[in-house]
Amino acid sequence: MAEGRTQPLRGIRGMGDRLPAETPWWQQLEAAVRRVVRTYGYRELRLPVMESTELFKRSIGEVTDIVEKEMYTFEDRNGDSLTLRPEGTAGAVRAGIQHGLVNQGAQRLWYMGPMFRHERPQKGRYRQFHQVGVEAFGIATPDLDAEIILMSARMLRAVGLEGLRLELNTLGSAESRAAYREELVAYLRQHEADLDEDSRRRLDSNPLRILDTKNPDTRAILEGAPRMADSLDEESRNDFDELCRRLDAAGVEYTVNPQLVRGLDYYTKTVFEWITDDLGAQGTVCAGGRYDGLVEQLGGPATPAAGFAAGLERLVALMAERDPELPERAGPHAYLVVAGDRAAEQADGLAEALRDRLPDLRLIRHCGGGSFKSQMKRADRSGAAVALILGDDEAEAGEVTWRPLQGGGEQERLELDAAADRLKGVIDAAESLG
Ligand code: ATP
Ligand code: MG
């Protein structure tokens, strides 16, 4: 009797696989990110994907969506409570304190990697997702806020994403925030019965987050609420004005959104988001701001800080929409077809010599034998721009046959030098397209 086939296992919901048809956008994005952060003098941090649960509770805030319902928390074999990082700032601050970076003057740092949140998976929202983030420690002035916003704008431009909306707000100092919080609570208490359930609960625990609600009835009540701008301390107001002036001078467009608060507790003063209308409800691709109190709150010396994080899945989705052909252009430049014994002996040497001369060359050397015809079929299917055919004749003469597979042109025999020169042209042409 035939054995039943084993049921294949599936990956975890919300933790997607990125297959080769998609990774070219990722590679383009990651390369652009690395180039941009380098031009601002930011240095890379690589941190563990797990931290003690306590770290996130103390930094992100106990009464936030992330800590209340989104963290992957578990006990390890020693009974310690660990959490897969839901974001990168907490770990960056922890490491900055632990290794004394925050005592060494201005620090400009960046990181990129996976984050984990147990959310309802949907377009633009996953359980494992990826962020690039920057964190700058030790600079209190709004020239830094302007710098990180300019850098985020440059990253978007670098991958062809123009036309996103920049929204800005200031949350004020810790003190002015506390004063505003009281006013807001006093106002909302009068409308308590009409608030949605989440907002009612937050009235005690985290009232500023109510400003961020998507519930339409609560939004209507918020229309009449006191405004954060009216209880701002003078320093925050001046710093915000200066930030706006700097962005104006740099030609960066923005709108001030007084309702913009962030989902994490640690923000002070500047907050900002880059938003697109092309991704439905998951429209925020990058978010950040100042968090002057966090280093001290986590046991380090009082250290001003600011940063942002951008969601790579959302950026890739936009890139794919705007440049759907990139994966095609990322295919091989050339496919080496090998026919005959003498040719087979020389094929590896030829392929290696071409790779030596042309470090950017993407060359597939046919493996697995087969007829000339079947090899040509593979060459066609590979998406390569040209087939390099090495038969015994060619091998004898130290030549190769050049057969264009795309864009027309004649087949011809070339000496190796000439073939390498031509390949250089193919590489440059593919480069200029992407
Ligand atoms: P949202 O309001 O969409 O839940 P957030 O305020 O929770 O976002 P942040 O913690 O500020 O997000 O993270 C910064 C960026 O990381 C977001 O703007 C978004 O681009 C991305 N991001 C956050 N959560 C997810 C997720 N679950 N899946 C994909 N990307 C995410
Ligand atoms: Mg969220």
Q: Cα(14) to centroid of ligand 2, in Å?
A: 14
Give yes or no for residue 131 CB within 6 A of ligand 1.
Answer: yes
Q: Among the atoms of ligand 1, which is closest to the Cα of residue 273?
A: 18
User: Strand 334-339 vs strand 107-116: parallel, antiparallel, or unpaired?
Assistant: unpaired
Give yes or no for residue 117 CB within 6 A of ligand 1.
Answer: yes
Residue-level pLDDT at 258:
87
User: What's the rounded Cα separation, in Å, for the pair 64 and 57?
Assistant: 9
Helix (H, G, I), strand (E, B) or coil at 415: strand
Helix (H, G, I), strand (E, B) or coil at 395: helix
Give yes or no for residue 284 CB within 6 A of ligand 1.
Answer: yes
Ligand nearest to the CA of 120: 1
Kindly report the pTM of this predicted structure. Answer: 0.93
DSSP 5: P
Nearest CA-CA partner of 27 in 430, 401, 319:
319
Q: Which amino acid, one-letter code, is at 335?
A: Y
Q: Which amino acid, one-letter code, is at 135?
A: E
Regions in the chain scoring below 70 on pLDDT = 1-3, 263-264, 433-434
Binding site annotation covers 88? yes
pLDDT one-digit tens code per residue, 286-318:
999 999 999 999 999 999 999 999 999 999 999
Nearest CA-CA partner of 248 in 156, 305, 168, 161:
168
Q: Cα(313) to centroid of ligand 1, in Å?
A: 10
Q: Among the atoms of ligand 1, which is closest to the Cα of residue 70?
A: 27
Q: Among the atoms of ligand 1, which is closest to the Cα of residue 86?
A: 10
Binding site annotation covers 262? yes
Give yes or no for residue 60 CB within 6 A of ligand 1.
Answer: no
Residue-level pLDDT at 209:
84
Ligand nearest to the CA of 127: 1
The alpha helices in 323-391, defined as continuous H runs, are 326-329, 341-357, 372-381
Binding site annotation covers 200? no
Is 198 within 8 Å of 184 (Cβ atoms)? no
Q: Among the atoms of ligand 1, which is closest to the Cα of residue 282?
A: 3
Residue-level pLDDT at 213:
86
Domains and CATH numbers, the chain: 23-173+233-322 (3.30.930.10), 332-432 (3.40.50.800)
Residue 348: both structure tokens together: 């590896």
Give yes or no for residue 285 CB within 6 A of ligand 1.
Answer: yes
Q: Cα(311) to centroid of ligand 1, in Å?
A: 6
Q: Write down the residue that tokens 């950017």 correspond to.
A: 360
**Nearest 5 degrees, angle CA 323-CA 287-CA 221?**
115
Give yes or no for residue 316 CB within 6 A of ligand 1.
Answer: no
Residue-level pLDDT at 433:
64
Here the contacts of 395-404 (C-beta below 8 Å, separation 24 or greater) are 395/340, 395/342, 395/343, 395/345, 395/346, 396/342, 400/350
**Nearest 5 degrees, angle CA 121-CA 122-CA 127?**
30
Is 174 within 8 Å of 265 (Cβ atoms)? no
Helix (H, G, I), strand (E, B) or coil at 306: strand
Helix (H, G, I), strand (E, B) or coil at 160: coil
H or E segment and range at residue 114: strand 107-116
pLDDT one-digit tens code per residue, 72-105:
999 999 999 999 999 999 999 999 999 999 999 9
Binding site annotation covers 72? no
Q: Cα(66) to centroid of ligand 1, in Å?
A: 10
Give yes or no for residue 401 CB within 6 A of ligand 1.
Answer: no
Binding site annotation covers 355? no
